[in-house]
Amino acid sequence: MRPISYLTLATLGLALTGALLAAGCNRDTANVPAKSAANTPPPAPAAVTGLDEHSYAEPDKVKTKDLALELHVDFDKKELSGSATYTLDWLDPKWGKLVLDTRDITVEKVVGERADGNWRDLTFVQAPADKILGSALTIAVPERNKRIRITYHTSPNASGLQWLTPEMTEGKKTPFMFSQSQQIHARSWVPLQDTTMVRFTYTAHVTSPKDVMVLMSANNDPKAVRDGDYSFEMPQAIPSYLLAIAAGDLVFKPTGPRSGVWAEPTMAPKAANEFSDTEKMMETAEKLYGPYRWGRYDILVLPPSFPYGGMENPRLTFATPTAITGDKSLVSLIAHELAHSWSGNLVTFARSRDAWLNEGFTTYVEMRIVEELYGKERADMEKIVARNELKEEFTNENLDRQPLAVKAGVLKDPDDNLTGTVYTKGAWFAEFLETRFGRATFDAFLRGYFDHFAFQSITTEQFAEYAKANLLDKYPGKVTQAEFDAWLNESGIPATAPQVTSPRFDAVDAVRKAYLDTGKLPDAATVSKWTTYEYVHFIEGLPQTMKPEQLAALDSVFHFTGTPNGEIAQRWYPLAVRSGYTQANEAIAEFLGRVGRRKLIMPTYGELVKTPQGLQLAEQIYAKAKAGYHPITSGSVEQVIADAKAGKTKD
Ligand code: BES
Ligand code: ZN
């Protein structure tokens, strides 16, 4: 059976049911051609149906219980090819179709298993692609087969995969490939119900060139033989955004009995040293929130083009190599990804607009782990930096993004959801509850919450209801419903937010003030004892723009320009750009060319594009860096450049 083009179907009115046609575009009709829109009932508002506004799937009708992948990794074609077999749970006994999310995927064949064990062709149609959501794949399944198999291959431009040539790796000998599925990129490498409302177990059989090691967010064997033939099993049900794969010249180094790092050979020892506290972090989290339920906890260190700091793929956190600084100063990243083993991977947000349930509680737990292992002083410094940035981020232009409970329709692209609201305000809310109810009570509550909703996806409303019963009503007189609701529904930072202070930051403030008031440069011996967050705080308290000579003078003491520390670079370079400190341009170009982690480089691109010369430099840097960037990062950079250009033509 050949795939039928959407247009052919629509024009010829072929013998598929009206339901099948309509299903091809049941969301965002504004983005599909008028012809198909005419056949489409108006989309039901997600808030009413309770469905996920970023998926075409219909999890209230049919759910994937298990996914079995058979894939081949082809580095020459930059392609994954093979099949996906779905075991389905038909919730609606009268339903006759399966709608899956896809993006840039070529579907070759779809078959369904009959009661007699034979597999028969099924009719399918792929709707025109929406820029953000991709294309709905609708399969007619009148017999509601228990198992369906799709044969397919990915596009070299799959938004959820990055393919690196050997030159782009550390070792320069072996190619590399990795996925980044969150938020809605799994659909670019596997057709699936790409919504957190569906959880499934999975198995995978993956073949690759013999010299390449393949890993997945599943049971990776530290002793696996490298032979190009790998099998995986993930017995715990996960949402699609936690599906992950990586392939390259990867070796393993243990950091504990059930933890370790995977990295390219030259990186592996450095990574194992940097992350040597992993086991202690696990023990700390377990003491607070109950056993770690996922078996092993390994960390895969990726090339610098990894678009995020970390990604909590179950059993195998993916991490940026920029977290490896030699002094463990950025290992809170591991505490964060590990914390997702409870908040996120165990209890998952139901819709992207509930993301604070994942990231807010995870950031709170991250801080608890940091406090336990590295002391309250350090945790408080990290909090103050984040909270100061949150205050900067909140403006009159983004009032609708400031409540924790974001309204339906506000969040267009779920990739744009790494906001201060979700992380910092979310964690601050948890700390507010902790402060009011007391640590012992709140710890017990959170542990109970993780157990109660384990392996489920929940909405903000469900959390609020649970908290009312198990916290507010159970311990009356501590927090009023109005105080609680203000955090969820109001913009800005609630008046009830607990404040922290840091004597070490006070000292940094004094050094900065002395310099700004009198021109007296800080004493090198004093500042050499500072930690990353003290440097960050120093830079963030400097004026918006300064004289280039001043920045040069500061550089003579701090050597910020050219720093290997991305947390410092991401704050120093925007100031350098705003101040016309052109001596830093070379280092800026080097940094933006080498690192692809979005959070670290976007602030500098954002400043560059504000002036014509800066825009030109940004375009030059990007033209060179593009080949090495991940599609997610390229997308963000291109957007910033395009917006700047559009802004210019308006003037
Ligand atoms: N799950 C996130 C990454 C993410 C969020 C990817 C939303 C796509 C959409 C991960 O746990 C995370 O928060 N990473 C942070 C690091 C952390 C230390 C704050 C990052 O990448 O910056
Ligand atoms: Zn996170």
What separation in Å is there between the alpha carbon of 90 and the centre of ligand 2?
A: 33
More confident residue, 45 or 220: 220
Query: Quick one: which ligand is closest to 182's CA?
Result: 1
DSSP string, 54-116: T----TTTEEEEEEEEEEEEETTTTEEEEEEEEEEEESSTT--EEEEEESS-EEEEEEEE-TT
Q: Which residues contact 144 (CB under 8 A, 6 or more apart)?
A: 62, 88, 90, 93, 95, 96
What separation in Å is there between the alpha carbon of 298 and the centre of ligand 2?
A: 16
Mean pLDDT score of the chain:
92
Query: Quick one: which ligand is closest to 184's CA?
Result: 1
pLDDT score of 440 more than 60: yes
Q: What is the pLDDT of residue 35?
A: 33
Q: What is the pLDDT of residue 647?
A: 87
The CATH number of the domain covering residues in 532-645 = 1.25.40.320
Among 443, 442, 396, 398, residue whose Cα is nearest residue 421: 398
Least confident of 33-42, 63-72, 195-204, 274-283: 33-42
d(CA 42, CA 40): 6
Q: Which residues contact 121 (CB under 8 A, 6 or more apart)?
A: 1, 109, 110, 111
Is there a contact between 448 and 465 (Cβ–Cβ < 8 Å)? no
Residue 473: CB atoms within 10 A of its CB come to 10
Residue with tokens 């993956």: 206
pLDDT score of 44 more than 60: no
Q: How confident is the model at residue 210 (pLDDT cuts 50, 70, 90)?
A: very high
Query: Quick one: which ligand is closest to 244's CA?
Result: 1
- Taking only the tens place, the pLDDT of each residue in 58-115 is 999 999 999 999 999 999 999 999 999 999 999 999 999 999 999 999 999 999 999 9
Sheet holding 297-301, edge to edge: 251-256, 259-263, 297-301, 316-319, 310-311
Q: How confident is the model at residue 6 (pLDDT cuts 50, 70, 90)?
A: very low
pLDDT score of 650 more than 90: no
| Ligand 1 contact, 183 CB (< 6 A) | yes
Helix boundaries (H) for 165-277: 268-274
Q: What is the pLDDT of residue 323?
A: 97
Start-to-end CA distance of the chain, whole Å, equals 54
Least confident of 25-39, 139-153, 319-333: 25-39
d(CA 242, CA 198): 12
| Ligand 1 contact, 182 CB (< 6 A) | yes
Tell me the residue ranges of DSSP E strands in 154-228: 161-164, 176-179, 199-207, 213-216
Architecture of domain 347-501: Orthogonal Bundle (1.10)
What separation in Å is there between the alpha carbon of 37 and the centre of ligand 2?
A: 37
| Ligand 1 contact, 26 CB (< 6 A) | no
What separation in Å is there between the alpha carbon of 224 and the centre of ligand 2?
A: 29
What separation in Å is there between the alpha carbon of 307 and the centre of ligand 2?
A: 13
Mode of pairing for the β-strands spanning 316-319 and 297-301: parallel
Q: What is the mean pLDDT of residues 261-281?
A: 98
Which residues on neighbouring strands pair with residue 138, listed in sequence order?
99, 125
Residue 296: CB atoms within 10 A of its CB come to 17
Q: What is the pLDDT of residue 46?
A: 39
| Ligand 1 contact, 511 CB (< 6 A) | no
Q: What is the pLDDT of residue 648?
A: 53
Half-sphere exposure of 140 (CA within 13 A, CB side): 19
Q: How far is CA 325 from CA 374, 521, 566, in A?
A: 16, 26, 9
- Taking only the tens place, the pLDDT of each residue in 48-60 is 345 899 999 999 9
Residue 268: CB atoms within 10 A of its CB come to 18
Backbone angles phi, psi at 289, to 5 degrees: -125, 10
Q: Which residues contact 425 (CB under 8 A, 6 or more apart)?
A: 356, 360, 390, 402, 404, 487, 493
- Percentage of the chain surpassing pLDDT 70? 92
Query: Quick one: which ligand is closest to 320's CA?
Result: 1
Q: How far is CA 89 from CA 64, 98, 237, 443, in A?
A: 6, 11, 14, 36
Query: Which residue from 178, 308, 570 has its CB within 8 A of the most atoms of ligand 1, so it is best to mutate?
Result: 308
pLDDT score of 31 more than 50: no
Q: What is the mean pLDDT of residues 133-141?
A: 97
Question: Which amino acid residue places its CA nearest to atom 3 of ligand 1?
Answer: 311
- Taking only the tens place, the pLDDT of each residue in 612-628 is 999 999 999 999 999 99
Number of the ligand 1 atom closest to the C-alpha atom of 415:
9
Q: Which residues contact 147 (CB under 8 A, 6 or more apart)?
A: 85, 86, 87, 88, 112, 113
Residues classed as catalytic: 337, 423
Burial class (CB in 10 A: 0-12, 13-18, 19+), 38: exposed
Question: Which amino acid residue places its CA nearest to atom 17 of ligand 1?
Answer: 333
Q: What is the pLDDT of residue 70?
A: 99
The CATH number of the domain covering residues in 18-157+182-208 = 2.60.40.1730
- Taking only the tens place, the pLDDT of each residue in 379-427 is 999 999 999 999 999 999 999 999 999 999 999 999 989 999 999 999 9
| Ligand 1 contact, 65 CB (< 6 A) | no
Domain ranges within the chain, ordered by starting residue: 18-157+182-208, 347-501, 532-645
pLDDT score of 28 more than 50: no
Residue with tokens 């840097």: 621
Q: What is the pLDDT of residue 579?
A: 98
What separation in Å is there between the alpha carbon of 258 and the centre of ligand 1?
A: 23
pLDDT score of 3 more than 60: no
| Ligand 1 contact, 340 CB (< 6 A) | yes
Q: What is the pLDDT of residue 51?
A: 80
pLDDT score of 499 more than 70: yes
Q: What is the mean pLDDT of residues 533-561?
A: 98
